[in-house]
């Protein structure tokens, strides 16, 4: 049995597209909403099974990884989030890089020696790694119009992954992957599926219009905190809105907060362009890891369930951390 386990955002989807275009095989797809990162809890791998894991933190899934290895499974793990200590095991192959300019699809692109770079560029734009996407695109001599198409597609796929549950999304990530998986180029996918692209575009634009009308709950020279209303559009757009804020005002760190159904908060953090006088986005994972359900990557991280009575504590720590 082969399991393909992937984050439901642009990076996870585009990483798997690249991999299966080069290495096609029948597999069971395991994915979920963007914040559903403990995907290995959804199945069991036994002796002789093969598990490919893309774009979810090894640190958050280490217990299940160890269980699968002890059961005799083989694992190929590719990611750019916090990894913790990576154990050595003959059945475990890892490709992990936590550099803030790297995403999983860029790692897969390198691994496959640049077989399908257009999908990697799309994913990098989706992860708000615009400079990295443009650097790779420069090697292909893409014109500005085509580059904008890839950027928009990446943003829309990424936007589609956010929500508190699968019902919040326009398309389930596994279904969206299957719609794209056979296309060697994102341009071919868009050409053959204009209705799907248009639906994502319309949803994104409508939700972003709503988000841009929200004023910050708290702001200083270093940070800005936005609390979105308890609505469906807010749960869908929180990640895209965080990226938008980070691009519009890169000198500040941003936090976008939405409501969970259990009366807790979901928090998305975007690091400023420079951190501790270094020209790199960093610290978001470190900050969010101070909270029980927090984690992510250096440039962008989050807290899945922040108790409502901890909101002010978070804002104070956020301000102190980036001041």
User: In 3D, which of 235, 229, 307 has the Cα closest to residue 268?
Assistant: 235
Tokens of 322: 């980036």
pLDDT digits (tens, 9 = 90+) for 158-178: 999 998 899 999 999 999 999
**Terminal alpha carbon distance of the chain:** 50
Tokens of 285: 């994972």
Query: What angle is formed at CA 307 by the lines to CA 302 and CA 312, rounded to 5 degrees?
Result: 80
* 285 within 8 A of 295, measured Cβ to Cβ: yes
Low-confidence ranges of the chain (pLDDT < 70): none
Predicted local distance difference test score (pLDDT) of residue 32? 96
Predicted local distance difference test score (pLDDT) of residue 84? 85
pLDDT digits (tens, 9 = 90+) for 188-221: 999 999 999 999 999 999 999 999 999 999 999 9
Predicted local distance difference test score (pLDDT) of residue 49? 98
Predicted local distance difference test score (pLDDT) of residue 102? 96
Contacts of 35 (CB under 8 A, 6+ apart): 162, 266, 302, 304
Give the C-alpha separation, 68 to 62, whole Å. 10
Q: What is the DSSP letter of 40?
A: G
* 207 within 8 A of 244, measured Cβ to Cβ: no
Predicted local distance difference test score (pLDDT) of residue 31? 98
Tell me, yes or no, if the pTM score tops 0.95. no
């Amino acid at each position: 049995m082969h399991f393909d386990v992937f984050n439901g955002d642009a990076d996870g989807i585009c990483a798997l597209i690249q991999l299966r275009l080069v290495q096609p095989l029948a597999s069971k797809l395991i994915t979920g909403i963007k914040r559903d990162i403990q995907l290995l809890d959804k199945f069991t791998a036994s002796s002789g099974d093969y598990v490919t894991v893309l774009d979810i933190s090894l640190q958050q899934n280490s217990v299940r990884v160890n269980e699968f290895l002890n059961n005799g499974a083989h694992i190929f793990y590719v990611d750019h989030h916090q990894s913790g200590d990576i154990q050595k095991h003959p059945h475990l192959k890892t490709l992990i890089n936590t550099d803030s300019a790297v995403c999983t699809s860029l790692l897969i692109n390198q691994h496959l020696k640049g077989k399908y770079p257009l999908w990697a560029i799309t994913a990098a734009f989706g992860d708000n790694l615009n400079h990295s996407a443009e650097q790779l695109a420069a090697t292909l001599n893409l014109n500005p119009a085509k580059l904008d198409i890839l950027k928009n597609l990446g943003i829309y796929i990424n936007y589609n992954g956010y929500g508190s549950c699968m019902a919040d999304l326009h398309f389930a990530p596994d279904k969206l992957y299957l719609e794209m998986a056979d296309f060697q180029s994102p341009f071919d996918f868009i050409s053959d599926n204009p209705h799907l692209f248009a639906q994502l575009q319309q949803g994104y634009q409508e939700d972003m219009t709503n988000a841009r009308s929200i004023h910050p709950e708290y702001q200083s020279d270093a940070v800005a905190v936005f609390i979105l209303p308890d609505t469906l559009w807010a749960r869908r757009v929180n990640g895209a809105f965080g990226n938008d804020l980070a691009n519009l005002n890169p000198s500040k760190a941003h936090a976008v907060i939405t409501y969970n159904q259990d009366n807790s908060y979901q928090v998305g953090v975007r690091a400023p362009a420079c951190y501790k006088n270094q020209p790199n986005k960093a610290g978001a994972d470190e900050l969010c890891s101070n909270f029980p359900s927090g984690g992510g990557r250096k440039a962008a991280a989050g807290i899945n369930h922040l108790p409502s009575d901890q909101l002010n504590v978070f804002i104070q720590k956020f301000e102190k951390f980036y001041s």
